[in-house]
Amino acid sequence: MKVVHIINADTRGGAPKAAYSLHKALLSSGIDSRMLVQRKFSNDDKVSSYNSSFVQTQLTNSRMLLDIIQMKLFSKEERGRFSFASIGKDISDNPIIKEADIFHLHWINEGYLSLKSLQQLAKLGKPVVWTLHDMWAFTGGCHYSSGCKKYEDVCCNCPYLKNPSSKDFSTRLQQKKSEVYNELKPHFITCSNWLAKTAKASSLLKDYNAAAIPNPIDVDVYKPLDKKAVRKKLGLSENKKYILFGTLNVNEERKGFKKLVEALNILFTRQENLKADTELLIYGTASGDETKTLPAKVNSFGRITDTQHLVECYNAADVFVAPSLEDNLPNTVMESLACGIPVVTFNIGGMPDMIEHNLNGYLAEPFSTDDFAEGIKLLLNDEQNQKKLSAQAREKVLGNYQPFIVAARYQSIYNKLLSSQINF
């Protein structure tokens, strides 16, 4: 069985990291897995890209630039919040595509695949699995809807567009997706139960199956380490309490940085003694202006590309905070749990799939910063409870997200598709 994963990149970004983990899990399970990406960052010879030569790189950069220009011309929001899918590459003649038994789509935007590109793949008549890492596949173009539910009927007057109307880009894109899906006949997978439920409520995917299968994680890499040794290596105090917040872009509104600032102000106002003993750890792209608003000393690690360094950062913390306003199944939360670090988050999206309240973390009432502060306080003040939650955090991952567990579920779906038993 030959499976090709089609995604914009292999190891940089949330969806690429998740797709690459699945690719490695499938290889370990004996499946001939390949990746065909727009941009390659790994040294994996099973990953092929369209930036392996100067000419390909220039063409890729041109598509990405045109995609950015289009978003700036027509969309109000920052890059990544709305994708038009009108710019893309025809990959149907690629040898890896021709040899594959199954096409496995993931995050295809940023100028990689257009809707026309999907129609060209559809003509090859091969089974298509599409793992959704956000809401884009069933909306009129947004990746997260910010509470808007027009995707359940007809997208129009889109709040993300500069010139919304009753028949704007979102309306046309939603209609075009319907036409393309009728040709492509994709079999949708979501990473969380929340996304599966949301997809089924949409007008585009209401008649499609949408099974929920989580992302895998390498538990031999993301694992508990000696906290004292890690802190010493990172130049941190052995006796301080550390709160960790990390994401690719700290300034992305959806990740809830402002809510974190509010919660910490509440926490330290109530317990001034805790403020003196607590410091913050942050990784990801962040401006100095943002971190200055935090009410405690900040240790910033910047953008981390080395996996071992990332694992050490998790292990240095006492608690990981994920104040996301919208999210699917964020890698950061799963990585924290795998390292035995309890998580405080809002009870939204895919968070309850991973976090069991007061068992391996704390699910705060959305979007109560008061309750979020309470969760942090409980984990920092009760050392015995923290140890119990830490052990259960690791157990949650071992029981649900190990590569062989996730790979087996996907292999079952692949087998059914290849034997034409499509109603999985």
Q: What secondary structure, in 3-state letters, does 225-273 show?
A: CCHHHHHHHCCCCCCCEEEEEEEEECCCHHHCHHHHHHHHHHHHHHCHH
Place of tokens 């439920």: 197
CATH superfamily for 227-400 is Glycogen Phosphorylase B; (3.40.50.2000)
- What 8-state DSSP symbol labels residue 285? E
Q: Residue 379: its pLDDT value, please?
A: 95
Summarize pLDDT for 354-373 with one digit per residue, the tens.
999 999 999 999 999 999 99
CA distance 156 to 171: 5
User: Is the previous residue joined to 367 through a cis bond, with omega within 30 degrees of 0?
Assistant: yes
362, 373 contact by CB (below 8 A): no
118, 180 contact by CB (below 8 A): yes
pLDDT of 424 higher than 50: no
Q: Residue 420: its pLDDT value, please?
A: 74
Q: Residue 288: its pLDDT value, please?
A: 67
User: CB count, 10 Å around CB of 72?
Assistant: 12
In terms of phi and psi (left: phi > 0; alpha: psi -120 to 50; beta: otherwise), the region of 325 is alpha
Percent of the chain with pLDDT over 90: 88
| The dihedral sign for the CA sequence 23, 27, 28, 29 | positive
89, 153 contact by CB (below 8 A): no
Give residue 248's pLDDT band: very low, low, confident or very high (50, 70, 90): confident
29, 404 contact by CB (below 8 A): yes
pLDDT of 422 higher than 80: no
Give residue 76's pLDDT band: very low, low, confident or very high (50, 70, 90): confident
Give residue 287's pLDDT band: very low, low, confident or very high (50, 70, 90): low
Summarize pLDDT for 78-120 with one digit per residue, the tens.
545 899 999 999 999 999 999 999 999 999 999 999 999 999 9
Q: Residue 291: its pLDDT value, please?
A: 78
* Domain boundaries defined on the chain: 2-216+403-418, 227-400
CATH superfamily for 2-216+403-418 is Glycogen Phosphorylase B; (3.40.50.2000)
pTM of the model: 0.94
CA distance 155 to 169: 9
DSSP 176-222: HHHHHHHHH-EEEEESSHHHHHHHHTSTTTTTS-EEE-PPP--TTTS
Contacts of 151 (CB under 8 A, 6+ apart): 135, 138, 139, 140, 145, 174, 202, 203, 204
Q: 2-216+403-418 with 227-400: one CATH topology? A: yes
